[in-house]
Structure 1
Amino acid sequence: MTIDKKTRIAVIGAGLGGAAVAALLKKEGFNVAVYEQADKFERLGAGIHIGPNVMKIFRRLGLEERISLMGSHPEFWFSRDGLTGDYMSRIELGQYALDNYGAAYITIHRGDLHEVMLSPLGSDLHFGKKLDRIEDSGDEVGLFFTDGTEVQADIVIGADGINSKVRECLLGEEEPTYSGWVAHRALITGARLREFQNEFEPCVKWWTEDRHMMVYYTTGKQDEYYYVTGVPEAEWNHDAPWVESSREEMYSAFDGYHSTVQNLIEATDYVTKWPLKNRKPLPLWSSNRLVLLGDACHPMKPHMAQGACMAIEDAAMLVRCMVEVGVDDYETTFKYYEANRVERASKVQAISNANTWLKTQEDPSWCYGYDVYADALKEPQQESQPAQHAVAE
């Protein structure tokens, strides 16, 4: 179809989902601007998994090879008993993923990935734009920022995370709830990594009944090793989004764990602690000219390593619907988007929150082999009720 280049599309938030939807919109010829509240992005110490399901989307953007070369390509996802070290699953990745899922499975530093994803946006990315309020007149949407500036848009995409201002406009103010779990995060480099490197596997999750530690390399050179945990903690009594933790706290949290985990903690120079938060299931994903994606729409615990992937899949499906269905009848387009994303996103959300993914030997092809472009769009139900989907605690 012919793209109406006069349609003004505003993306709120330039995280991975926002960057993906903006880059895909630009590639299709849409008029898009991205508004990010941060003054700049820095290479913070965090890693991320990118499955073949999302590498196929990067292929569309012409970014697949560049991202692939930057990341680590584990041959397996190993799950190991945290106490004994016994292997509970060995999920083939590496060449197997290329042959069977159609693209690579990589682990990468989030900052490196983000920089590549932002590269197509150029001057269409605006930093220092914290959204204060939205005024939807029906004919257009006014966006008012805390720096005193304002813009008008025809369509607004809320990619602004679990604390989404766009979501608040749709559904009213509501704080996310603390899940009762925290995530410790640390990046091991240099001499500390080399000291223990011969026993550190490229991608492994250590489990016991109520906690875990996921560990993997974040570069192709394997000179950075990252871990993220899931540990129960009854309360979160901090106003900050994260706090510093310590090696001593880690030893306490993983007391009795296998010697390799003890060496991981020993190699840790700096570790932070983050609360894992949930939201109630959404009764809607869009309203009039506003539409949500990613954590603004379906936040999930990181335990399946698919949260960012779901945001990027959302972005690809939303843009696909905007191309195939059109932007003039945007409400119908948004219904197609939701109809083609709700079931999959809700399934991943539930499995992530339940924390069962790949703990034992299973077939992950339904997740990794998925291609957002492969099947014809599913038509929305004519008289569908607002979708609400259970979130497993």
Structure 2
Amino acid sequence: MTNDRQTIAIIGAGLGGAAAGALLQRAGFDVHVYEQAPSFSRLGAGIHMGPNVLKIFERIGIDKKLLEISSKPTHWFSRDGITGEYLSRIPLDGYGTPYCTVHRGDLHGLQITALNEGTLHFDMKLKEIEDSGSDVYLEFEGGTSTRADIVIGADGINSRVRETLLGFEKPNYSGWVGHRALISADKLKKHDLEFEDCVKWWGPDRHMMVYYTTSNRDEYYYVTGVPHPAWEFDTAFVESSREEMAEAFSGYHPVIGALIESTDEVTKWPLFNRNPLPLWSKGRLVLLGDACHPMKPHMAQGAAMAIEDAAMLTRCLQENGVSDFKTSFALYEANRRDRATRVQSVSNANTFLLTQEDPSWVYGYDIYAQPLKSESAA
């Protein structure tokens, strides 16, 4: 179908929103992306990008640049956090494109450069959204306003767009926190130990995922999952400490001890999620990524699902156009709900790749090779 020139507004310029913007613009749509942050910064820490996502980045044109700056592990190792015994050795090659781990901020920076000049607007925190039936009115803090034919909510677990569709509801605290730290690889040289490219250390009730975030392996990252009865802070994260980490992983393998000893700064983040939503769209508003299926990070596929959403939503809008947004949105949900829900469930259960299993249902998935099933299947 010929792409009409009606306007699309994307709320949120994170990994999912930026992917949606770039893909839709390359498909010929008139798209503007609105981000509440005042400017771009190298936020976050490490992130995994599997072959299922690299296939999408090929369409955007950033896959080669991403591979140049990222680490490319050949295996995902799972090891007993106390004894060090290997629980699984999962090959990450054989999917037509490499698996990579990278600093989230570096990936995000590449995605931002793929957006058309003048279409990304910072310091635009959404204040009001109103679907009039004929278009959508958007007002931002500070008084700026605009109108769009459809709006994509890519604004995360506390999505303002989701709230408009379904009302306010706090996300569920999972009872877990994640500690995050970046370590200079130079600090690891004093330890006569092997630090593998991509390894998850599993304990009876906690874990630590560790990997390099750069192609020259000068930055090593860990993120944990540790039980924590209640999140008693009002902030998105709090400072942690080497001492707190040492207590949380007392008695664990010497590699974990060395990582903790080499830590300069570590933060602690609550892990939130939501139950599957009853709907992903209503009227001229549609959701993607954490706005509609947030999950614990234990499978390293949360951002990947948002980027897959962006690709599928683009396909559906190409198929039907913005004018027939109802059909496009229904088709999108019909073709995304089952996969996103399955990944959400497995990720929340924290069982992925614990044992020797075949992950091809995740990494071998090519969103462009999937025939579109009817929207009546939703």
| Residues in 2 aligned to 1:240 and 1:125: alpha-carbon distance in whole angstroms | 27
Task: Check if 1:176 corresponds to 2:163.
Answer: no
Query: After superposition, where does 1:87-106 map in structure 2 within 5 Å?
Result: 87-93=86-92, 97=93, 100-106=94-100
How many residues are aligned here?
377
Cα deviations by residue, 1:125-156 (Å, 9 ceiling, x for unpaired): 00000001101101000001011111000000
Identity over aligned pairs, percent: 64
Task: Check if 1:163 corresponds to 2:151.
Answer: no
- Name the residue aligned to 2:234: 239
Cα deviations by residue, 1:158-181 (Å, 9 ceiling, x for unpaired): 000000000000000111121100
Q: 1:196 to 1:26 in 2, by over 3 A?
A: farther
Q: CA RMSD in A?
A: 1.1
Q: 1:200 aligns with which of 177, 183, 195?
A: 195
| Residues in 2 aligned to 1:312 and 1:205: alpha-carbon distance in whole angstroms | 24
| Residues in 2 aligned to 1:349 and 1:276: alpha-carbon distance in whole angstroms | 13
> Could you tell me how far 1:370 is from its partner in structure 2?
0.2
Q: 1:336 to 1:150 in 2, by over 3 A?
A: same
Cα deviations by residue, 1:46-105 (Å, 9 ceiling, x for unpaired): 100000000000011111111011110111100000010000000012xxx2xx312110
| Residues in 2 aligned to 1:330 and 1:182: alpha-carbon distance in whole angstroms | 39
- Name the residue aligned to 2:34: 35
- Name the residue aligned to 1:349: 344
> Could you tell me how far 1:193 is from its partner in structure 2?
3.1
- Name the residue aligned to 2:82: 83
| Residues in 2 aligned to 1:357 and 1:190: alpha-carbon distance in whole angstroms | 27
> Could you tell me how far 1:196 is from its partner in structure 2?
3.4
- Name the residue aligned to 1:46: 45
Cα deviations by residue, 1:238-295 (Å, 9 ceiling, x for unpaired): 0000000000000111111001100000000000000001123211000010000000
| Residues in 1 aligned to 2:36 and 2:51: alpha-carbon distance in whole angstroms | 30
Please list every run of 5 or more consecutive structure 2 residues that lacks an aligned counterpart in the other structure.
Answer: none
> Could you tell me how far 1:197 is from its partner in structure 2?
7.7
Cα deviations by residue, 1:14-67 (Å, 9 ceiling, x for unpaired): 000000000001111110000000001221351000000000000111111110
| Residues in 2 aligned to 1:324 and 1:59: alpha-carbon distance in whole angstroms | 20
After TM superposition, which residue ranges in structure 1, 4 or more long, deviate above 6 angstroms?
none
- Name the residue aligned to 1:387: none
Task: Check if 1:149 corresponds to 2:144.
Answer: yes
Q: 1:192 to 1:336 in 2, by over 3 A?
A: same
Query: After superposition, where does 1:212-231 map in structure 2 within 5 Å?
Result: 212-231=207-226
- Pick which of 38-47 and 69-78 moved more: 38-47
Cα deviations by residue, 1:308-343 (Å, 9 ceiling, x for unpaired): 000000000000110022221101110000000000
| Residues in 2 aligned to 1:111 and 1:261: alpha-carbon distance in whole angstroms | 25
Secondary structure, counterpart of 2:76 in structure 1: strand
- Name the residue aligned to 2:7: 8
Q: 1:346 to 1:45 in 2, by over 3 A?
A: closer
| Residues in 2 aligned to 1:53 and 1:14: alpha-carbon distance in whole angstroms | 21
| Residues in 2 aligned to 1:30 and 1:48: alpha-carbon distance in whole angstroms | 29
- Name the residue aligned to 1:56: 55
Q: 1:287 to 1:370 in 2, by over 3 A?
A: same
Q: 1:117 to 1:196 in 2, by over 3 A?
A: farther
Q: 1:336 to 1:41 in 2, by over 3 A?
A: same
Amino acid at match of 2:72: H
Would the aligned equivalents of 2:186 and 2:218 in 1 still touch at CA under 8 Å? Answer: no
| Residues in 2 aligned to 1:226 and 1:243: alpha-carbon distance in whole angstroms | 18
Task: Check if 1:370 corresponds to 2:369.
Answer: no
Cα deviations by residue, 1:216-253 (Å, 9 ceiling, x for unpaired): 00000000000000000001110000000000000111
User: Normalising by the residue count of structure 1, what TM-score does the alignment of the two structures yield?
Assistant: 0.94
Would the aligned equivalents of 1:314 and 1:341 in 2 still touch at CA under 8 Å? Answer: yes
> Could you tell me how far 1:195 is from its partner in structure 2?
2.6
Q: 1:109 aligns with which of 103, 110, 129?
A: 103
Secondary structure, counterpart of 1:195 in structure 2: coil
User: Normalising by the residue count of structure 2, what TM-score does the alignment of the two structures yield?
Assistant: 0.98
| Residues in 2 aligned to 1:280 and 1:197: alpha-carbon distance in whole angstroms | 45
Would the aligned equivalents of 2:193 and 2:255 in 1 still touch at CA under 8 Å? Answer: no
Task: Check if 1:302 corresponds to 2:284.
Answer: no
Secondary structure, counterpart of 1:143 in structure 2: strand
Secondary structure, counterpart of 1:59 in structure 2: helix
- Pick which of 34-43 and 347-356 moved more: 34-43
Would the aligned equivalents of 1:109 and 1:218 in 2 still touch at CA under 8 Å? Answer: yes
